[in-house]
Amino acid sequence: MKLPVIGITTSYDTEEKNYFLKSSYAESITRAGGLPFLIPADEAIGREAEYAQALSGILFAGGGDIHPKYFDEEPLEGFGMGNILPQRDSFEIRLYKEAEKRRMPMLGICRGIQLIAVAAGGSIYQDIDTGAKRVQRIRHMQKAPDWCETHTVSILPDTRLAGIYGVEQIMTNSFHHQSVKNVPGGYRVSALSRDGIIEAIESVYLPFCIGVQWHPERTGDEKTLGLFRDFVNHALQYRTE
């Protein structure tokens, strides 16, 4: 049986001319039974259909901020905007749409959940500290090691995510200042933090499309590996259908 090939999006250092991605993404796909394939952020522009045709699933990885023009906003003052790589935004949005047409399994992590939301017609907070109304302010940019889980996330019942984790609440790590604001049509919220920030969304019409705001690839335990296994299993089914 051939291993399902999972495309993983990368970022790009415009000064050093390097593509880069934390190894934990590929390691998690490998451990889950998939074959990771790294997609160059800018050289792939215009070849979205070819990549979608060749792959069995797509993992939208973490990275810099998404350009506000893609969700019809001007860049706002009052916070430090992260690095923007417009060619990555453009490519990943079009790659999502190609994968959506094919009903291909997709998983988004951190920036990836935001990319899925924007590509599907939703929007994100440019900065949750200045834009999201929160009574209790949870720290979402932790100062602990990346494998350390620092705050709780409640998983909503009767969601695919609830079926994967099998519990109502988990601890997660957290490294973000943006988050999903308006959930796109065809999606539902599947997890929330205690201060109301959307921590996961999932498609209600695609066989498998989940975005999570935390970094399950960095914890490397059996609990979070279940998410990758479910993703890879759906990719295997997709390729053999």
Segment 76-97 shows an average pLDDT of 85
pLDDT at 134 over 70: no
**DSSP secondary structure, 70-120, as one string:** GGT-PPPSSS----B-HHHHHHHHHHHHHHHHHT--EEEETHHHHHHHHHT
pLDDT at 219 over 90: no
In the annotation, is 217 catalytic? yes
**Number of Cβ atoms within 10 Å of the Cβ of 205:** 10
The overall average pLDDT reported for the chain is 89
Task: Answer left, alpha or beta for residue 104, where phi above 0 means left and psi between -120 and 50 means alpha.
Answer: beta
What would you report as the CA-atom Rg of the chain, rounded to the nearest whole angstrom?
A: 17
Residue 140 vs residues 113, 125, 192, 217: alpha-carbon distances, Å: 15, 13, 12, 17
Q: For 23-74, what is each residue's pLDDT tens digit?
A: 999 999 999 999 999 998 776 678 899 999 999 999 999 998 999 999 998 8
DSSP-derived pairing of the beta strands 123-125 and 179-182: antiparallel
Return d(Cα 12, Cα 186) in angstroms, integer.
Answer: 31
- Provide the pLDDT for residue 129: 75
Q: From the candidates 202, 209, 217, 234, give the one annotated as an active-site residue.
A: 217
The topology under which CATH files domain 5-240 is Rossmann fold (3.40.50)
In the annotation, is 215 catalytic? yes
Q: From the candidates 110, 140, 149, 234, give the one annotated as an active-site residue.
A: 110
The residues near 159 (Cβ < 8 Å, ≥ 6 apart) are: 188, 190, 191, 202
In the annotation, is 209 catalytic? no
Segment (H or E) for 136 = none
pLDDT at 148 over 70: no
- Pair 217, 25: CB distance under 8 Å: yes
138-147, 193-202, 229-238: least confident range? 138-147
pTM above 0.85, yes or no: yes
Q: From the candidates 176, 177, 215, 234, give the one annotated as an active-site residue.
A: 215
Segment 77-89 shows an average pLDDT of 79
